[in-house]
Amino acid sequence: MTGVSVAMGTLIAVPEGTPKVKKFVSASPLKIQYNSRLPIVVYAPEGYEVQYRIWKASDTAEKAEKG
């Protein structure tokens, strides 16, 4: 995987006197297929935070209903 995920931005200024808030702002989600033979390596610039979530399949399969 190569490239940069694009984050949204705006050029609108924050009104004076607005309190500063520090919070996580996400870019476009990136889903990758799991391959147990290869590690997942994420390079991020200094000062950036990387968050991730691991999804797993349920132990049981549900039966679909006819519509």
Residue 44 lies in a domain: yes
Has residue 3 got a pLDDT over 60?
no
Calpha distance 38→32 (Å, rounded)? 12
Per-residue pLDDT tens over the stretch 25-39: 777 777 888 788 998
Has residue 47 got a pLDDT over 60?
yes
Residue 52 lies in a domain: yes
Please give the pLDDT value at position 35: 84
Mean pLDDT (whole number) for 28-56: 83
Residue 4 lies in a domain: no
Residue 10 lies in a domain: no
Residue 48 lies in a domain: yes
Residue 37 lies in a domain: yes
Has residue 10 got a pLDDT over 70?
no
Residue 50's domain comprises 32-56
Per-residue pLDDT tens over the stretch 13-25: 778 888 888 888 7
